[in-house]
Structure 1
Amino acid sequence: MNNRLIVIGVVILAALYVFFSSIYVVNEREQAIVMRFGQITDVRTEPGVYFKIPTDIVDSVQILEDRLLRYDIANMRVQVSGNAFYQVDAFLTYKISDARRFRERATGQLSVAEARIGASLDAALRQVYGLREFNAALSDQRQQMMQETRDLIRPDLAELGINVVDVRILRTDLDADVSATTFERMRAERLAEAALLRARGQEQAQSLRAIADRQAVEIVAASTRDAEIIRGTGDAERNRLFAAAYGQDTEFFEFYRSMEAYKAALVNTGTTMMLSPDSEFFKYFGSNGSIPAANPNLSTPIQPTAAPITAPASTEPALDGLGIEESTVPTLTLEDGSQLSPTVGTDVPPPVEAPAPTPAATP
């Protein structure tokens, strides 16, 4: 009885072993290679439950990934045109597209395939970077560089049954040795540009300052000239009036000049002046306050012999095109709104008509 139970148990175990060794399951993330005595007989890419010859002695199954896989490369030192170096981080996404070829060329092992992928990616990146200048990897050529790298790797990895989906460059940094040199070069360029801008600004400032100084000198000179001309015109007019007054009444003019002399000389200045009482200076001091008699016979005023002095007209354009005339006539606006202009010339006043002589009294 016991032997029968043992035999039944052995048979059941053998049957279970045969059953379970004859089936295999492929899910949606995998693909399977069926081999008989080491030769590939079938490739299963659809998910499901499949059967084979029991035990692994005759038929064996190798499960492969059917998902997108990723291979990373970090801190890769590449040289660009011009002997500069970059530190590059990149990754590659791929998929096993031909399981049969992958088994034949890479023994179905991802480690073997990734060794080939790493070498191909390294060579492709060096080739792409080596054809470009220093700043290309940091410009809009980055997308084109990734596409070129992918296209260079695809034919090589297609021989392994691998389809390269995409290549991405994560980081492109300057090498530590090149970074310091590049920083100093960029700093020197910025300093040179700043010095150039500063020099141009100083040049323009000096030019504007020189123009302003010259204009100030010319304006002051023109104003001084006009002021002297106006002052000379006034002095000439004053002298003409004095001369006309002297010619009309000599006695009154001498009296007026003596009064002005007394006013200027006898002011309280602390100066002691000693003169003889009979001096001509005190001629009108002994008159007991009486004014000299008016001269009834006034002579004709002295006419001016020269034309009034006026500012010369200038035909030169405004200074430096800035709208500043070389000479302008100054004016003054009074409170009532009227304008006061300087005197350029004054007509000679009409002579004073002499009064009719009075007849002398007969004794």
Structure 2
Amino acid sequence: MTNRLFIIGAVVLAALYVLFSSVYVVNEREQAIVTRFGQITDVRTDPGLYFKIPTDFVDQVQIIEDRLLRQDLTNLRVQVSGGAFYEVDAFLTYRITNPRLFRERAQGSLAVVDDRIATRFAAVLRQVYGLREFNAALSEQRPEMMREARDLIRPDVEQIGIEIIDVRILRTELAAEVFERTYERMRAERLAEAALLRARGDEQAQSLRAIAERQASEIVAAATRDADIIRGQGDAERNRIFAQAYGQDAEFFEFYRSMEAYRTALGNTGTTMVLSPESAFFRYFGSDGQLPAASPTFNPPITPQPAPNIGTGSDEPALDGLGIEETIAPTMTLEDGSELSPTIGTEAPAPAEETAPAATPAPAPATAQ
């Protein structure tokens, strides 16, 4: 009885073993490859319950991922067209689309696939970056670079039953040894641009100062010219009046001049003078206080005459004596197209109007005492 129970138990266990070893399940996230003595006999890509020859000595089942897989690449050193170096972080996603090729050419091992993808992925990124300039990876060309890298790597991995779904570049930074050099170059460029702007500003400032100094010289020269003309006219009028007054009564004029000389020389100045009483200076001191006899005849009164104009009387510019022939105010056009001209109120005054000189009457002859 006991032996029969052992036999029945052994048969049940053997039946269960045969049953479970001949059944395998493929879910929606997996694929299955069935091999018989190392040769592929069946590939299951649809989820479900499948059967095979019992035991694993004859038929073996290898479960393969049917999900998206990811391959990361970090701190990859790439060189761009200009010679600078970047450090790049990127990743790609892929799926096993042909389990038969995956088993035959990659031994069905994800480690082998990862090594081949990593090597080819790095080479593709170096090729993509090497065709572009320094700022391309930091500009709108970045999506184009990712699509180009995906298209370049696809033909190589399709040979092992892999399909590249997408390629993404996560980080693009300058290498540590290049960063400082690049910063110094950019700093030098900014300093050169600033120096150029300062030089242009100094040039415009010097031009403005030159215009202002020229305008000031013209204004001062014109004012000095008019002042000299007016002063000369005043001196001429004064001399004319003195000359006519002297012609009215020469004796009285001489007496008046002597009194003025006494007032100036003998005022309250504390000055001591030692002179001979017979000197011409004391001519009127010896008259015992008597004034000279008045002239019985007088010349007609002095008729006011217009002041003669002693202007140059020419049409030459006001500053021709300074060697400046230009009469138009200087201007300067700046870089932005605006025109710099003298401000209102700085124009040189017009020359004084000239009048025809009036004939000066000859002084009347002095009446003899």
TM-score for the superposition, normalised by structure 1: 0.75
Question: Where does 1:162-201 land on structure 2 (aligned, <5 Å)?
Answer: 162-201=162-201
Aligned to 1:144: 144
- Report the CA distance shift for 1:268/1:48 in structure 2 as closer, same or farther (over 3 A): farther
Change over 3 Å in CA distance of 1:299–1:12 after alignment to 2 = same
Structure 2 SS opposite 1:164: strand
Moved more, 27-36 or 270-279: 270-279
Q: What aligned pairs does 1:232-251 form with structure 2 within 5 A after superposition?
A: 232-250=232-250
Q: 1:159 Cα shift?
A: 0.9
Distance between the aligned counterparts of 2:256 and 2:184, measured in 1? 90
Question: Deviations 1:270-322 (Å, cap 9, x if unpaired)?
Answer: 43334556665566777869898697733353887994224765555233144
Asked if 1:123 corresponds to 2:123, the answer is yes
Q: What secondary structure is seen at the aligned counterpart in 2 of 1:226?
A: helix
Matched-pair contact (CA < 8 Å) for 2:92–2:167: yes
Q: Secondary structure at the match of 1:172?
A: strand
Could you list the per-position Cα deviations for residues 10-42 of structure 1 after superposition, in whole angstroms to 9, with x for gaps in the alignment?
Answer: 344334433433333333322222334433343
* Cα distance change of structure 1 residues 264 and 61 upon mapping to structure 2, 3 Å threshold: farther
Distance in 2, matches of 1:291 and 1:172, equals: 118
Amino acid at match of 1:64: I
Assess, with a 3 A threshold, how the Cα gap between structure 1 residues 259 and 346 changes in structure 2: closer, same or farther: farther
CA distance in 2, matches of 1:17, 1:108: 27
C-alpha separation in 1, matches of 2:7 and 2:359? 164
Residue 105 of structure 1: CA displacement?
1.7
Quick check: 2:215–2:348 contact (8 Å CA) kept in 1? no
8 Å Cα contact 2:311/2:354 also seen in 1? no
Change (3 A) 1:61 1:266: farther
Q: C-alpha deviations, 1:157-208, integer Å up to 9, x for none?
A: 1111111112222333334444444444434433433333333333333333
Higher RCO (C-alpha under 8 Å, 6+ residues apart)? 2
Helix, strand or coil at the partner of 1:298: coil
User: Does the aligned pair in 1 maintain the 2:237–2:307 contact within 8 Å?
Assistant: no
AA aligned to 2:66 is D
Partner of 2:300: 299
Q: State whether residues 102 and 161 of structure 2, in contact with CA within 8 Å, keep that contact through their aligned partners in structure 1.
A: yes
Q: C-alpha deviations, 1:106-131, integer Å up to 9, x for none? A: 12211111111112112222322333
CA contact (8 A) 2:305 2:358 kept: no
1:233 touches 1:343 (CA, 8 Å); kept in 2? no
Unaligned runs of 5+ in 2: 318-325, 332-340, 362-369
TM-score by length of 2: 0.74
Is residue 26–residue 32 contact of structure 1 (8 Å, CA) maintained in 2?
A: yes
Q: Is the 8 A contact 1:52 1:59 kept in 2?
A: yes
Q: Say whether the 8 Å CA contact 1:318–1:326 is kept in structure 2.
A: no
Provide closer, same or farther for how the CA distance between residues 26 and 173 of structure 1 changes in structure 2, counting only shifts above 3 A: same
Larger deviation, residues 66-75 vs 249-258 = 249-258
User: What aligned pairs does 1:279-358 form with structure 2 within 5 A after superposition?
Assistant: 281=281, 297-299=298-300, 301=302, 307-310=308-311, 315=317, 316-321=326-331, 322-323=341-342, 324-328=346-350
**SS of equivalent residue, structure 1 residue 206:** helix
Amino acid at match of 2:124: A
RMSD: 3.9
The answer to whether the 8 Å contact 1:71/1:91 transfers is yes
Decide whether aligned partners of structure 1 residues 347 and 23 sit closer, same or farther in structure 2, where only a CA change above 3 A counts: farther
How far apart are 1:71 and its partner, in Å? 1.0
Q: How far apart are residue 263 of structure 1 and its match? A: 4.5
Could you tell which deviates more after superposition, 40-49 or 160-169? 40-49
In terms of mean alpha carbon deviation, does 116-125 or 193-202 score higher?
Answer: 193-202
Which residue does 2:74 correspond to in 1?
A: 74
Please tell me whether the aligned partners of residues 31 and 64 of structure 1 are also in contact (alpha carbons under 8 angstroms).
Answer: yes
The answer on whether the counterparts of 1:33 and 1:42 sit within 8 Å (CA) in structure 2 is yes
| Number of the residue aligned with 1:222 | 222
Aligned equivalent of 1:61: 61
Partners in 2 of 1:269 and 1:25 — Cα distance?
A: 141
- SS of equivalent to 1:104: helix
Q: Secondary structure at the match of 1:309?
A: coil
Asked if the contact 1:78/1:86 (under 8 Å) is kept, the reply is yes
In terms of mean alpha carbon deviation, does 15-24 or 155-164 score higher?
Answer: 15-24
The answer to whether residue 142 in structure 2 is matched with residue 132 in structure 1 is no
* Structure 1 residues 282 and 157, CA gap change in structure 2 (3 angstroms): same
CA distance in 1, matches of 2:12, 2:46: 32
